[in-house]
Amino acid sequence: MGLAISFVSTVSEKVWYHTCSSKGKNCHNTTLVDQSGCCKWYTEMTYLADIEEHLGVTISQTDEKLDIPVDEF
């Protein structure tokens, strides 16, 4: 048995996703990939939902006190 803790943002984050030939070296192109740039929006809540769907479970969430819920996964 193990414990994995992930911090999942509720807001989208613009992240680097280099498509340039330098693979990021000296790159300052913050335009989105679909506009020939090197950034994309990363929406963690969407990825969390995809993971939950793949696993077939709802992943437990903790509160600000970090009380870890116990489940039978």
Portion of the chain with pLDDT greater than 70, in percent: 93
Tens-digit pLDDT profile for residues 27-56: 999 999 999 999 999 999 999 999 999 999
Transcribe 33-59 into DSSP letters.
GGGT-SEEEE-HHHHHHHHHHHHTSPP
What Å distances lie between residue 60 and 7, 10, 13, 48, 72, CA to CA?
Answer: 12, 15, 23, 11, 11
